[in-house]
Structure 1
Amino acid sequence: MTEMDKGIQLMQEGKLEEAAKYFTEAIDQHPGEPVHYINFGNLLLHMKDYERAERFYRKATELDEKAATAFYGLGNVFFEQDDFIQARDQYQKALSLGLEEADVYFMLGMACLYDEKFKFALPYLQRAAEMEPDDADVVFQYGLALAQTEQLAEAKDIFQQVLELEEEHSDAHYNLGVISLYQDNVDQALAHFNQALAIQPDHLLAGNGKTQIEKMLEENE
């Protein structure tokens, strides 16, 4: 096991100080290797030390201007600080350099989604869902992008896929409830809101949806 491998394993185990020691030794021994700066950047990002993480990722790109994972790391630095425009730029750079991974497409889609660029988010989240069809969170976010671009029938199918992957996904039930309301199926909407609340009793949106439906039904009696 190399110093880098030891450091990565320690980081995954949550032993951050020990991981930092191994990454520092790796940099000292091989100061021209960008991967060691990327690993240290990942550690610093995990520790929410965004300023230093950015410096390490940028050092990696200085050593190798085609270090795609360094640009992905920079994207994460900006994303975590809610700078979604810069995050998108860095993720797109990583993609252009050949980092064809679901995580990159997913994070690029999320950066667009959080910046309310819903139509731009859609193809990236679709691609991520195609690459990770068993990841309920990835598939859910794709469904959310479909819903936010008013493709309700397609969104409904995707949220139902989410429930096949994870039966107790309260947000999927909530969104199916909203779609049911749009389709004038009040009983089905109420059922989904109730299921969301059974899974997550403090689900405020589902609770509000249920209250509004019950109020409407009382007024129509």
Structure 2
Amino acid sequence: MGLEPEPLFQAWSYFRRRKFRQCSDLCSQLLEGPPGEQAAWSLKTRALTEMVYVDEIDMDQEEIAEMVLDENAIAQVARPGTSLKLPGTSQGGGPSPAIRPVTQSGRPITGFVRPSTQSGRPGTMEQAINTPLTARPITSASGRYIRLGTALFEYIFHHENDVKNALHLAALATEHAQFKDWWWKVQIGKCYYRLGLYREAEKQFKSALKQQDMVDTVLYLAKVYLRLDQPVTALNLFKQGLDRFPGEVTLICGIARIHEEMNNISSAAEYYKDVLKQDNTHVEAIACIGSNHFYSDQPEIALRFYRRLLQMGVYNCQLFNNLGLCCFYAQQYDMTLSSFERALFLAENEEETADVWYNLGHVAVGIGDLNLAYQCFKLTLVNNNDYAEAYNNLAVLEMRKGHIEQVGDLQRSYTAAQKSEEAFPGHVDTQQLIKQLKQHFAML
């Protein structure tokens, strides 16, 4: 008959196997005994923290209130190439043969959706209120869990989300360490960042870098500059970091992301290629390079990158959606519909389903089946009633069908085009379509 394992050792085993709930419950049982069990306290706080842990380096979701009330804006109109609020229009190597869709901020859609991209942000206050809370992705761990104080800080900061008390604890710990502990300075900077005090956070991160040169601290400081809308300063910081940490993937990837935000797609693609030289399994780099090749009218090359992701085990709606488009434009029609069928099967929400039906509508237009295209765009609007591109394409199909002689049909086309213009006021094709529809109105 085997011996029962020691409870604290069993709790630690649960933690190592990422069974955080069992670990927390067992630690609670240990804490019901005699007081002073510091190891159980520390392990329980770590387990509770890991349940809700979010890597502060990657997570940078700008809230709707911060977009409306930006107190850090220095100039209303920034110089070209120096701001992320008004990205430039240069593609770096001339205009792309294919029309690349853009977000509401005017930035072209990339091949990888990150927490800080516009696609994940609510567009209005009502959308922000109705948006459900979702889990954020977890990447690299950047905390230090040695003493009870550090575990307690992480518990207060992540689990309780009490930034004020976490800042107070970090300030006391820094004072106790005689302002010589770089780790606590980074935690103070994180608290200031959460509170919107970006200049104070910048001072803490700079002070921490003087004491200890760390990649994570460079990434935190770059986040501050990006929130202050200083992408050139962030680029210089990343390049200085590469001088001290040659070949560091996170720094190269940070440079590529900034170039994407500034609409310099060709430079971003070059830096993503440098990322693959260091890590040939980097999902974001592979997806973004594949997307760049697709919109450069090279679907065959893009197909190779997306198949590589499939071989690596990436299995989601977005990947099969892209595979279907690449197969269609590469004239591999036998795989087109099967890829879209798999994408519909893997769609997790109505927005993803709408994207698949919209792309199927483009395939139907490409093969000349306008009735099928009409139904696909209608199904797109069933799943997402704010899909501006679908409204625009339905208006075009109404014109192609010859339904513009009747006032009612013409009005439906004009209404659809107006909805598209509301979402993308600067869309040239939509403006030309509205102009043509107004001419038809004048002839009736």
* TM-score, L = length of structure 1: 0.74
Give how far 1:50 is off.
5.6
User: Which residue of the other structure, out of 345, 351, 367, is the alignment partner of 1:202?
Assistant: 351
Question: 1:54 — aligned with what?
Answer: 202
- Whole-angstrom distance in 1 between the partners of 2:293 and 2:368: 29
Structure-2 change in CA distance of 1:19 and 1:144 (3 Å): farther
Identity of aligned residues (%): 13
CA distance in 1, matches of 2:178, 2:291: 45
Which ranges in structure 1 are unaligned for 5 or more consecutive residues?
none
Q: Does 2:258 align with 1:108? A: no
Structure 1 partner of 2:311 = 164
Q: Quick check: which one's helix share is greater? A: 1
Q: In structure 2, what is the equivalent of residue 42 of structure 1? A: 190
CA–CA distance in structure 2, aligned partners of residues 81 and 126 of structure 1: 28
Residue by residue, what CA displacement relative to the aligned partner does 1:147-201 show, whole Å, maximum 9, x if unpaired? 4555544332221121233443222222223322332334533433333232225
| Equivalent residue letter for 1:191 | S
1:16-165 to 2 correspondences below 5 Å: 16-17=161-162, 19-28=166-175, 29-45=177-193, 47=194, 49=196, 51=198, 52-61=200-209, 63-64=210-211, 69-80=216-227, 83-98=230-245, 100-134=247-281, 136-148=283-295, 152-165=299-312
Kindly provide the amino acid, as one letter, of the partner of residue 126 in structure 1: K
The answer to whether the Cα contact below 8 Å between 1:3 and 1:25 also exists between their aligned partners in 2 is no
- Pick closer, same or farther for the CA change 1:5–1:142 going to 2, 3 Å: farther
Change in Cα spacing, 1:188 to 1:75, as seen in structure 2 (3 Å) is same
- Give the equivalent residue in structure 1 for 2:332: 185
For structure 2, which runs of at least 5 residues remain unmatched after alignment? 1-145, 373-444
Q: 1:83 deviation in Å?
A: 4.7
User: Rg: which structure is higher?
Assistant: 2
Q: Which amino acid aligns with 1:6?
A: A
Match of 1:14 in 2: 159
Cα RMSD of the aligned pairs, angstroms, is 3.6
Structure 1 pair 11–136 and aligned structure 2 pair: CA distance change class (3 A): farther
The DSSP-based 3-state class of the residue aligned with 1:202 is helix
Alpha carbons 1:34, 1:67 under 8 Å: kept: no
User: How many residue pairs end up in the alignment?
Assistant: 219
Q: Is the 8 A contact 2:182 2:212 kept in 1?
A: no
Could you say which residue in structure 1 is the equivalent of 2:131?
none
Aligned equivalents of 1:4, 1:36: Cα separation in 2: 10
Structure with higher RCO (Cα < 8 A, 6+ apart): 2
CA distance in 2, matches of 1:97, 1:128: 17
- Tell me, what secondary structure is at the counterpart of 1:24? helix
Cα deviation code 1:67-98 (max 9, x no counterpart): 65433222122345665433322222221222
Amino acid at match of 2:185: Y
Matched residue type, 1:109: A
TM-score w.r.t. structure 2 length? 0.41
1:34 to 1:106, Cα distance in 2 relative to 1, 3 A: same
Change (3 A) 1:148 1:90: farther
CA distance in 1, matches of 2:227, 2:341: 33
Q: CA shift at 1:103, angstroms?
A: 1.9
Q: Secondary structure at the match of 1:212?
A: helix
